Amino acid sequence: MKQTHLFTKTRREAPKDEVAKNAQLLIRAGYINKEMAGVYSYLPLGLRVLNKIVGIIREEMNGIGGQEVSLTALQDKATWEKTNRWNDEVVDNWFKTELKNGTELGLGFTHEEPLTQLMKDHIRSFRDLPVAAYQFQTKFRNEARAKSGIMRGREFLMKDLYSFNLDETTHADFYEKAKQAYIRIFDRVGLGAQTYVTFASGGSFSKYSHEFQTLTDAGEDLIYIHEGKKIAVNKEVLNDEVLADLGIKREELVEKKAVEVGNIFSLGTRFSDALGLVYSNTEGKPVPVVMGSYGIGPGRLMGTIVETYGDDKGLVWPVAVAPFAVHLVALFDKEGKVKPIADGLYEKLTKQGVEVLYDDRDATAGEKFGDSDLIGIPVRYTISAKTIAEDSVEKKDRLTGKVEMVKIADVM
């Protein structure tokens, strides 16, 4: 993409009321737009990053047998009443609305109820199981505090997968597969080293759930990490029983701030009992389906990457999620020698399938480098009268700052 074509502009200042580093940098670099507190639109560069993250998650969900669906945001009150989750005292973050005739509707904050209801038309016998269905879908949550930029939106994208199994044993197998897929996802987006499988409260059906917590001062959770085992315990459940279960000692743990980037949960038969999702077993008897749910916020993940890698100059993207692989920055000369060579290199790279952002604007070197650092593409090639005199471009690595000259013929 040519930068003269990109409609977004960079800016020096983020909105005054924006306190989160992730949102400040993403707004300044033109990746997102703040509509109001906790509500952000994604612009071309931002959507490219979000879609890279979504692509990685989708591959991993397909890899464990997930089938992609897309459920509605508008929710039927009657379904939620069956699990008692329509109740505002049970769920404190509903956005509710109504039809012109006064019928109440909800805007989905999660999808256990509607998907369980839907599966009643498709799961009948033991032969129909297992099933795993997932979606990338916009959730609405009336979050009390929305001060963490895209890490805590009131409207945000969630990948939510739900599993349906015959019994606890087959559920446990799938749950472990999903956990491994999550570990791969966080590795692939560049957060593997900072992300801990964290034991958290399990609700009424299992002792623990597992959160995937990434260490960052921008996080709102406190966890206790065990370096040796690369696991952690959420402060909420830290007690002698948990330590005994995990075979670890309190003094081996270190308290850290972290953000929950993913969460996997055994649901048992809570939802299938309430909504009547049963299958007939080999004897023809009705048995409730055993369920699990598995969430990741791609936007929260993107915000966490910014918090982890962003520096005083701007964004720094790991290669796998960068909006473009290469930032080609041309410093045009009066003689007009640079332009045809830069244009040619851009065409050639693009034809080879390399994702290139080409700064072909009429701007000063200072502006171009400042914007390039802010936008944070992993590799920058600068082409100028000076570099073409050596048939070269200057290559700069955004993360390490390492600079080297590369022959134009070798760039490919």
Which residues contact ligand ATP by CB under 6 A?
Answer: 110, 141, 143, 152-153, 156, 158, 260-263, 295-297, 299-300
CB of 225 to ligand ATP, least distance (A): 18
Q: DSSP letter string over 317-352?
A: --GGG-S-SEEEEE---TTS-HHHHHHHHHHHHHHT
Q: DSSP letter string over 208-271?
A: EEEEEEEE-TT--EEEEEETTTTEEEEGGG-SHHHHHHHT--GGG-EEEEEEEEEEEEEEETHH
- List the single partner that 114 binds among ligand ATP, Mg ion, none, CB under 5 to 8 Å by kind: none
- List the single partner that 394 binds among Mg ion, ligand ATP, none, CB under 5 to 8 Å by kind: none
Shortest-Cβ-distance residue relative to Mg ion: 263
Q: Contact, 43 vs 31, CB < 8 A?
A: yes
Among residues 365, 308, 71, 40, the alpha carbon closest in space to that of 189 is found at: 308
**Lookup: tokens for 397:** 């690595």
Q: What is the C-alpha to C-alpha distance for residues 29 and 8, in angstroms, rounded to an integer?
A: 8
Query: Cis bond leading into 15, ω under 30°?
Result: no
Identify which of residues 53 and 356 has a Cβ nearer to ligand ATP in the complex. Answer: 53
Encoded amino acid at 348, one letter: K
Identify which of residues 152 and 256 has a Cβ nearer to ligand ATP in the complex. Answer: 152
Choose which of 24, 165, 263, 308 interacts with Mg ion (CB under 5 A).
263
CB of 280 to ligand ATP, least distance (A): 32
CB of 158 to ligand ATP, least distance (A): 5
Identify which of residues 263 and 372 has a Cβ nearer to ligand ATP in the complex. Answer: 263
Identify which of residues 136 and 324 has a Cβ nearer to ligand ATP in the complex. Answer: 136
Q: What is the C-alpha to C-alpha distance for residues 86 and 252, in angstroms, rounded to an integer?
A: 42
- List the single partner that 261 binds among Mg ion, ligand ATP, none, CB under 5 to 8 Å by kind: ligand ATP
Q: What is the C-alpha to C-alpha distance for residues 280 and 140, in angstroms, rounded to an integer?
A: 36
- List the single partner that 262 binds among ligand ATP, Mg ion, none, CB under 5 to 8 Å by kind: ligand ATP
CB of 113 to ligand ATP, least distance (A): 14
CB of 382 to ligand ATP, least distance (A): 36
Among residues 75, 9, 10, the alpha carbon closest in space to that of 374 is found at: 10
CB of 296 to ligand ATP, least distance (A): 5
CB of 51 to Mg ion, least distance (A): 25
- List the single partner that 310 binds among Mg ion, ligand ATP, none, CB under 5 to 8 Å by kind: none
Torsion angle (degrees, nearest 10) of CA 238, 244, 247, 250: 40
What residues form DSSP beta bridges with 39?
36
Identify which of residues 154 and 398 has a Cβ nearer to ligand ATP in the complex. Answer: 154
Q: What is the C-alpha to C-alpha distance for residues 329 and 3, in angstroms, rounded to an integer?
A: 10
Q: DSSP letter string over 94-150?
A: -EEEE-TT--EEEE-S--HHHHHHHHTTT--BGGG--EEEEEEEEEE---S---SGG
CB of 209 to ligand ATP, least distance (A): 8
Identify which of residues 25 and 158 has a Cβ nearer to ligand ATP in the complex. Answer: 158
Q: What is the C-alpha to C-alpha distance for residues 237 and 255, in angstroms, rounded to an integer?
A: 13
Identify which of residues 42 and 156 has a Cβ nearer to ligand ATP in the complex. Answer: 156
Identify which of residues 174 and 294 has a Cβ nearer to ligand ATP in the complex. Answer: 294
Identify which of residues 10 and 33 has a Cβ nearer to ligand ATP in the complex. Answer: 33
User: With CB under 5 A, what is the number of residues at the site for Mg ion?
Assistant: 1
Binding span for Mg ion by CB under 5 A among 161-169, 255-263, 297-305, 356-364: 255-263
CB of 201 to ligand ATP, least distance (A): 10
Query: How many CB atoms are located within 10 Å of the residue 74 CB?
Result: 12
Q: What is the C-alpha to C-alpha distance for residues 96 and 85, in angstroms, rounded to an integer?
A: 13
Q: Which residues bind Mg ion (CB under 5 A)?
A: 263
